[in-house]
Amino acid sequence: MSAVPLAPTWSARTPVGVLALEPVVVDRDADLLHAWVTHPRCASWLMQGASREDVRTAYAAIAADPHHDAWLGRVDGAPAFLAETYDPRHRELVGHWDASPGDVGMHLLVAPPAQGTAPLHGLTSAVMAAVVRFCLDRPGARRVVVEPDERNTAVRAKNRAAGFVEHGPLDLGCKTAVVSTCTPEGFAASALAGVLA
């Protein structure tokens, strides 16, 4: 899979608003991403304790990587989530799982609500549906691949609601993952497919 973006911005209408994805701009977004990836609710991102410079360096490396992309997600224009796409034949699962041409790896982080703000009902489902559709819209995409920690039952349930099929545990060193895949047909038949207008 090429890491070339589809367009500067991709968007979809959902019950919580218009969700849009655009390439992360490291100099613009590093401080915001640092606040998100180091938040206690985002421990699964494995960047707890990272400095601002650590985050800037990590996302600069992604920006330079032809097999990995980072996307800032907005809801009605306001930053609200982070997505990463990658080619699992070259990143993350290399040497652990046999990826196929057309596989698009996906990571997803929904930003913690601002202090004193209630979570937006339905946001996580809308973001999951939009990002899966975004991945499947990439040129040559045949299925989406995720590798959540086996202990993260909430994320695994959300993945299944989006049409992912689990393929069992896999030791990645930093975690025991449950590799899961979603085809266009699986997503279309899923509980979350109807979230997108």
pLDDT per residue of the chain (197 residues) written in tens, 0 to 9: 444 444 458 999 999 999 999 999 999 999 999 999 998 888 888 898 899 999 999 999 999 999 999 999 999 999 999 999 999 999 989 989 999 999 999 999 999 887 767 778 899 999 999 999 999 999 999 999 999 999 999 999 999 999 999 998 999 888 999 999 999 999 999 999 999 97
pTM exceeds cut of 0.85: yes
| β-bridge pairing 78-86 and 68-75 | antiparallel
Position 171 scores a pLDDT of 92
Domains and CATH numbers, the chain: 10-195 (3.40.630.30)
| β-bridge pairing 17-23 and 103-110 | unpaired
| β-bridge pairing 176-182 and 68-75 | unpaired
Determine how many CB atoms are found less than 10 A away from the CB of residue 106: 22
CB-neighbour burial class of residue 73 (10 A; exposed 0-12, middle 13-18, buried 19+)? buried
Position 186 scores a pLDDT of 98
Position 8 scores a pLDDT of 57
In angstroms, the CA 136 to CA 26 distance is 25
- β-bridge partners, 175: none
